[in-house]
Structures are given as structure tokens and as C-alpha cells.
């Protein structure tokens, strides 16, 4: 499955967003996803399996729990693909940074005005 096919599903994207905050148990992830998307526990498990099988997450046993974490491997592939398109937004972000810096310089009070 292509990375964007995996990420095209809003449930899987949300799971990755939750995992970006740090490692979490399957139970915690399932509860959060069930609350947000009203899907069954087996459906959440299937989404976790797709993420794991496609290199987006890792899982490790912790007693009775399964702990999930982001695996950056597949995200590197996505980042590499996106690198072809960065030229479209990077100059605009650079220009924005310049304008922000310019605005900060203009707002700075002149220390000579304090006297």
C-alpha cells in the first residue's frame, strides 16, 4: 500500500496525530478513536494493523498491553516525496519570516525615548 493510501484515511491520520504526542497503549488509542469516530474496537485494531504493516507505527508488548509509537521510517518516504513540492511554499515562508522580523524591528521602542 502506498503511503498516501495509508494516510488518506482520517482515522489513521488521527491515530498518528495522537501518537505524535508519545507512545500510547492500544486501549487508550481505541478509546480516543471510538469517541471521535464512533467505530468499533475491531475497526480501530484494523487501522492500527494497517499503520504497523506499512511502517508508520511500532508496537511493543508491555505486560497485557500493546504500546504503539510512531515509526518515522514511512514518514521519511512521505517527506522525500513532498520535497519535490517544497519550492512552492518555501519562498513564501521565507518572505513571511522576513516580514515578521521587519515588523518586530519597527515596533521596538527607541531607548532614547525613555528619557
pLDDT tens figures, 52-97: 999 999 999 999 999 999 999 899 888 888 888 877 766 666 667 7
In the sheet with 65-70, reading across from the earlier edge strand, the strands are 24-25, 65-70, 57-62
d(CA 36, CA 90): 34
Q: How many residues does the chain have?
A: 115
Section 26-42 average pLDDT = 97
Mean pLDDT of the chain: 89
Q: Where are the beta strands (DSSP E) in the chain?
A: 24-25, 57-62, 65-70
Q: Look at the alpha carbons of 7, 14, 78, 52 in this order and tell me if their dihedral is positive or negative.
A: negative
Q: Where are the domains of the chain?
A: 3-107
- Reply yes or no on whether the pLDDT at 44 is more than 80: yes
Specify the CATH number for 3-107; select among 3.40.50.1100, 3.30.70.20, 1.10.10.10, 3.40.640.10.
1.10.10.10
Q: pLDDT > 70: what percent of the chain? A: 87
Amino acid at each position: 500500500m502506498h503511503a498516501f493510501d495509508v494516510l488518506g484515511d482520517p482515522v489513521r491520520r488521527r491515530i498518528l496525530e495522537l501518537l505524535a504526542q508519545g507512545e500510547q497503549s492500544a486501549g487508550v488509542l481505541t478509546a480516543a478513536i471510538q469517541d471521535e469516530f464512533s467505530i468499533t474496537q475491531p475497526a480501530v485494531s484494523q487501522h492500527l494493523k494497517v499503520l504497523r504493516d506499512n511502517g508508520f507505527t511500532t508496537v511493543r508488548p508491555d505486560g497485557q498491553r500493546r504500546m504503539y509509537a510512531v515509526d518515522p521510517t514511512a514518514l521519511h518516504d512521505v517527506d522525500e516525496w513532498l520535497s519535490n513540492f517544497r519550492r512552492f511554499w518555501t519562498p513564501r515562508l521565507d518572505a513571511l519570516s522576513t516580514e515578521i522580523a521587519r515588523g518586530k524591528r519597527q515596533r521596538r521602542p527607541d531607548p532614547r525615548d525613555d528619557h
